[in-house]
């Protein structure tokens, strides 16, 4: 008010607009409530928390949504519905419910949402993010058959891949020892990422890079930056109006698009070089295999750019997940030194000092296998799968889910279910061994990290082979020790995958074992 007691323009604006704003908010809440009640009455849709206007349930998810989903499942059951922005999403929890959906009703849950970000990845020719169609089925058949050829024990291609892995582990060990000289401790994640990226480059392009190679540094750097920007793509998918005006999310989303384009251009240049030197009589690597099956097979039904799309998928997905898995393995080795010692004792009984472990030793190393499966179960570093969407109307656990519904699959809930796993919060490899000390295959098949059904990760066998070789060769040659000045924690950072909080380690050679030895 002014000196004469008159109401100023600001006060007048507030007195007229504030009631309108309040009325609008109440009106929106009422609309949301009516829509929420209506949706729950239609053919018994899944229950779920009340969504707020504009944001839905986004503010309730927290930093680790998989844990929030587990808590929600205790209240609403294994099938419930949330809203993110204006998008309704069904969340699946629990082993039986997820397998009923993804295996029993595999076709109905084989779709991918029509997300803006999915159309950008791998030049729009991604198998992992592509929609469910006849073209996708043909694409998967070709990719799966090729990967299987590289991961089936005792084939020539597998032996070639195994040699790539063994060479990379030996180089990684030398890097670890150099960084540990003088009793130093270091954070191993970057070196793990470099090693895994080199294996995938060797697999796809038949070439490994020096750690100092500028082109290789740029490749690894793009993947790191991609992890920092991928969240922006997710936000734009559920709230597309964020692209309409300047804001931090829009800037990050632009970076996300730029990185995808740069990464795809890198792959295109490598595939182009392969096409120029392609020889149908010789399969040098995955790029050659895909060129042969797609470019030179009239019945493939795929355009040539699906070669680049498939290779980009392999480079992007394999690099992040496998480097994360390797980092968890190292963390758990130093967290539980008695388990590390038991692993080394088993390896020493089977593998002589004059050679390195190979895939042929796998059946004689059940404790190593149990350790790897327990690492996957305990860390659940891919807690939620890439979003699915329904391709038809379907009913799960008595709840009706209409066609084109976005579906989140909470793998964490499977791996930490107290009805399946005794004390799931405890790291215990022996849970996977039977009374004869052999691997219990029924239990190992219950670990869900690569999803199940039509959208199961086709690179699972190659990933498991890499983890086995890294674990056995590193422990055959070295011992890993924690930093006594650090308090190790199992807490993690949520991004493309669940990564452990940074920790440091010291690596020491085991006697004279780090000398050059034969791989056979």
Tell me the C-alpha distance between 397 and 454, whole Å: 20
Find how far residue 112's CA is from the centre of its chain: 16
Tell me the C-alpha distance between 354 and 518, whole Å: 7
Check if the beta carbon of residue 504 is closer than 8 Å to that of residue 486. yes
Rg of the chain on CA atoms, in Å: 26
Place of tokens 């750019």: 305
Give the burial class of 352: count Cβ atoms within 10 A of its Cβ; 0-12 exposed, 13-18 middle, 19 or more buried.
exposed
Which DSSP string corresponds to 389-428? E-SS-EEETTEEE-TT-EEEEBHHHHHT-TTTSSSTTS--
User: From the CB of residue 240, how many other CB atoms can be counted at a distance below 10 Å?
Assistant: 14
Place of tokens 């050829």: 149
Check if the beta carbon of residue 432 is closer than 8 Å to that of residue 374. yes
30 known member of a binding site: no
Find how far residue 207's CA is from the centre of its chain: 24
Sign of the torsion formed by the C-alpha atoms of 143, 145, 148 and 154: negative
Check if the beta carbon of residue 85 is closer than 8 Å to that of residue 239. yes
The tokens for 158 are 């597998």
| Distance from the first to the final alpha carbon of the chain | 90
Tell me the C-alpha distance between 253 and 244, whole Å: 12
Q: What is the 3-state secondary structure (H, E, C) of 146-174?
A: HHHHHHCCCCHHHHHHHHHHHHHHHHHHH
Counting Cα atoms < 13 Å in the Cβ hemisphere of 452 gives 21
The helix, strand and coil proportions of the chain, stated in percent and rounded to the nearest 5, come to 55, 10, 35
Outline where DSSP puts E strands in 272-423. 388-389, 394-396, 399-401, 406-409
Region of 77 (left: φ > 0; alpha: ψ -120 to 50; beta: rest) is left
Tell me the C-alpha distance between 11 and 247, whole Å: 30
Q: How many residues does the chain have?
A: 520
**Closest of 286, 327, 369, 373 to residue 498, by C-alpha:** 327
Q: Which residues contact 393 (CB under 8 A, 6 or more apart)?
A: 400, 401, 402, 403
Residues contributing to the annotated binding site for heme: 457
Residues making up the binding site = 457
């Amino acid at each position: 008010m002014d000196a004469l007691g008159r109401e100023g323009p600001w006060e007048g604006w507030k007195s007229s607009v504030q009631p309108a704003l309040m009325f609008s908010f109440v009106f929106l809440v009422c609309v949301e409530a009516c829509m929420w009640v209506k949706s729950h009455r239609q053919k018994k849709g899944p229950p779920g928390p009340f969504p707020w206007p504009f944001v839905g349930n986004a503010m309730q998810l927290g930093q680790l949504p998989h844990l929030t989903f587990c808590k929600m499942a205790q209240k609403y059951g294994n099938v419930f519905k949330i809203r993110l922005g204006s998008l309704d999403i069904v969340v699946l929890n629990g082993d039986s419910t997820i397998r009923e959906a993804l295996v029993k009703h595999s076709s109905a849950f084989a779709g991918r949402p029509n997300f803006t970000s999915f159309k950008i990845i791998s030049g729009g020719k991604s198998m992992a993010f592509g929609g469910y169609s006849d073209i996708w089925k043909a694409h998967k058949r070709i990719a799966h058959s090729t990967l299987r050829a590289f991961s089936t024990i005792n084939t020539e291609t597998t032996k070639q891949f195994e040699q790539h892995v063994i060479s990379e582990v030996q180089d990684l060990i030398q890097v670890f020892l150099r960084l540990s000289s003088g009793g130093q401790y270091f954070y191993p994640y970057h070196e793990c990422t470099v090693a895994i990226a080199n294996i995938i480059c060797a697999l796809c392009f038949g070439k490994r890079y020096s750690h100092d190679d500028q082109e290789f540094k740029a490749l690894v750097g793009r993947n790191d930056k991609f992890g920092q920007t991928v969240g922006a793509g997710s936000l734009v998918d559920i709230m597309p109006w964020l692209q309409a005006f300047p804001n931090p999310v829009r800037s990050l989303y632009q970076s996300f698009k730029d990185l995808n384009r740069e990464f795809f251009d890198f792959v295109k240049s490598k595939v182009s070089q392969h096409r120029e030197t392609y020889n149908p009589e010789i399969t040098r690597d995955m790029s050659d295999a895909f060129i042969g099956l797609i470019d030179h097979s009239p019945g493939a039904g795929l355009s040539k750019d699906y070669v680049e799309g498939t290779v980009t998928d392999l480079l992007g997905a394999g690099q992040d997940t496998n480097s994360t898995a390797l980092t968890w393995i190292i963390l758990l080795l130093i967290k539980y030194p008695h388990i590390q010692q038991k692993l080394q004792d088993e390896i020493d009984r089977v593998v002589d000092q004059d050679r390195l472990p190979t895939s042929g030793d796998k059946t004689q190393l059940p404790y190593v296998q149990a350790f790897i499966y327990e690492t996957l179960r305990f860390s659940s570093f891919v807690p939620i799968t890439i979003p699915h969407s329904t391709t038809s109307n379907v009913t799960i656990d008595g709840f009706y889910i209409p066609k084109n519904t976005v579906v989140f699959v909470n793998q964490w809930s499977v791996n930490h279910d107290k009805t399946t796993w005794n004390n799931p919060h405890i790291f215990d490899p022996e849970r996977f061994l039977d009374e004869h000390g052999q691997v219990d295959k029924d239990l190992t098949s219950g670990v869900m990290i690569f999803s199940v059904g039509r959208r199961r990760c086709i690179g699972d066998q190659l990933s498991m082979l890499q983890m086995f070789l890294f674990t056995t060769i590193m422990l055959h040659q070295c011992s890993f020790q924690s930093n006594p000045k650090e308090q190790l924690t199992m807490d993690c950072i949520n991004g493309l995958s669940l990564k452990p909080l940074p920790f440091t380690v010291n690596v020491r050679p085991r006697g004279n074992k780090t000398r050059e030895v034969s791989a056979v």
